[in-house]
Amino acid sequence: MYDFVIVGAGSAGCVLAARLTEDPTCRVLLLEAGPPDRKLEIRIPAAFSKLFKTRYDWAYETVPQEHLDGRRCFWPRGKTLGGSSSLNAMMYVRGNREDYDAWAALGNDGWGYDDILPYFRRAENFERGPTAERGTGGPLNVAELRDLNPATEAFLRAAHEVGIPGNDDVNGSAQDGVNATQVTQKRGRRWSAADAYLRPARHRRNLTIETGALARRVRFDGRRAVGVDYVVGDQARAADATREVIVSGGTINSPQLLMLSGVGPADQLRAHGIPVVHELPGVGRHLLDHLSVVSIVECNEPVTLAGAESFRNLGRFLVSGRGMLTSNIAEACAFVRSRDGLSAPDLELVFAPVTFLQHGLEAPTGHGLTIGAVALQPRSAGTLTLASADPSCPPCIDPRYLSDDAGEDLRVLVEGMRRAREIFAAPAFERYAGAPTYPAPLPTNDADAARHVRRYAESLYHPVGTCAMGNGADAVVDSSLRVHGVEHLRVVDASVMPTIPRGHTHASTVMIAEKASDVLRR
């Protein structure tokens, strides 16, 4: 018997487990479907893509995307303690003030920027020191990259030369501009949510952690959530929650579990033989994600991360936490506006001092440089639906990329490719940037760029919105993250975001869980 049962030990679940068990009288069970986070590659920043399509990754795929030449897109999602914070690129990017003020404007009281800033600050230990916007002393270490690649320094200078201003802190008072990436690392090693929150708390007597535990359903007494049924191996287990069940499975697993438990669109539940506990049509709707497309050129000098896996570099990393293996690959980012008249950036340019293709699963054959263009405010929204009543069966993921009627998402990515081409041609890059390789040649007109986007664009791994917060007919949780229409059940993770931030979702997910922990402890 527990006070709280938390499903999912990702970014949000780790925060909740640690914060709730600060009260020694509060008993918490944390369930994680994946294994413990003991694999060495989790610690090595530059090795994150080696975790894709392994036992540490749910390794989801979308359904064929009509506007991406019928391609299925790969969606890595963390399946271990720390969740996706144990296999992401460690970029700490909160987003823009406007993002959170928009949440409040949608009727979510307490979620405006000034409301949530204290939770960002409480969560982080910003190594550069505290400011009005930044915090120190928190569990989540936020650092500068230890050994910036010389090609990354050239990218920063080239961005300035084409008119993108420098920004000392894109997580500060203004987002526009370019800078080296801030990362969730400590002493050159990954610092996941499990490192930050769970590891210091895991020996508390009031916290129980079970790995390899796949949730089958939330159990209800009427409309009150009373526990979770799950399996470990082939053994069925049940856990009772006297206070609340908290679903923190992420944007894919949380709506799937709600539907498997009888909470969701009634016709979909009945089609799979699932008894309806409460009809909630918004479960699985409003799926948003950041779509990205890369432009790659040869590097004229052998300075890139193509040689990062040498024994010398591994030894340097293990002994001193220095060198190429401390790179997060995405070493710099620029936030720009794709056209005049916008009130905030809608385009991100991410620089990697290496050829980065096929999610890093394709080893570079030579030295190259990559700029990824990211559409930060997608108009295209998709859905997540059940494929089966079997919890081990992946759901159907359909982000409906580039489906917006106005074609704005495509326009932004085409503009991003133009900006990438401009940066590669800047004088500061003359020493490093060579012939284009992907695509070759780089498109010089919008039609060719659009064809490249449709053929090669991929997810940047930031899905949100499938259990959206709000008060409308399609809302799933209220502003306290309680699931509408039932009792003692909350969702706390990226799925509750009603719109997608102009950033990378790990930072905002941690913030959401920090805020939720205060609500739950009242």
Mean pLDDT of 269-291: 98
Predicted confidence (pLDDT) per residue in 349-385, tens digit: 999 999 999 898 888 889 999 999 999 999 999 999 9
> Does 162 have pLDDT greater than 90?
yes
The per-residue pLDDT for 365 is: 82
CA separation for the pair 410, 401 (Å, rounded):
9
Residue 460: phi, psi to the nearest 5? Answer: -95, 10
pLDDT for 489 beyond 90: yes
pLDDT value of position 90: 98
Determine the pLDDT at residue 136: 98
User: How far is residue 166's CA from residue 148's CA, in Å, rounded to a whole number?
Assistant: 16
| HEC letters along 4-68 | EEEECCCHHHHHHHHHHCCCCCCCEEEEECCCCCCCHHHHCHHHHHHHCCCCCECCEECCCEHHH
pLDDT given at position 363: 80
Contact criterion met (CB below 8 Å) for 500 and 409 = no
> How far does CA 421 lie from the centroid of its chain?
27
DSSP three-state, residue 389? coil
Pairing mode, if any, of strands 60-61 and 28-32? unpaired
For 182-239, the pLDDT digits (tens) are: 999 999 999 999 999 999 999 999 999 999 999 999 999 999 999 999 999 999 999 9
462 is catalytic: yes
Q: Which of 462, 488, 504, 506 is catalytic?
A: 462
HSE toward the beta carbon, residue 499, CA cutoff 13 A: 22
Of the candidates 254, 233, 229, the residue with the CA atom closest to the CA atom of residue 241: 229
Determine the pLDDT at residue 354. 97
Average pLDDT, the chain: 97
Instruction: Provide the 10 A C-beta neighbour count for residue 440.
Output: 10
The pLDDT of 434-442, averaged and rounded, is 92
pLDDT at 442: 85
| Average pLDDT rounded to a whole number, residues 441-458 | 94
- Quick one: average pLDDT of 65-88? 98
Q: Is the pLDDT of residue 431 over 90?
A: yes
Fill in the DSSP letter of residue 377. S
Burial of 141-171, coded b for 16+ CB within 10 Å and e otherwise, reads bbbebbbbbebbbbbbebbbebebeebebbb
What does the H/E/C string look like for 162-184?
Answer: CCCCECCCCCCCCCCEEEECEEC
Residue 309's pLDDT is what? 87
- pLDDT exceeds cutoff 90 at 81: yes
pLDDT at residue 15 greater than cutoff 90:
yes
Can you tell me the mean pLDDT for 49-54?
Answer: 97
Domains of the chain, each with CATH number or no CATH: 1-59+76-142+184-287+462-522 (3.50.50.60), 146-180+291-377+402-456 (3.30.410.40)
- pLDDT of residue 342 exceeding 90, the answer is yes
pLDDT at 512 over 90: yes
Are 382 and 399 in contact by the 8 Å Cβ rule? The answer is yes
Give residue 102's pLDDT band: very low, low, confident or very high (50, 70, 90): very high
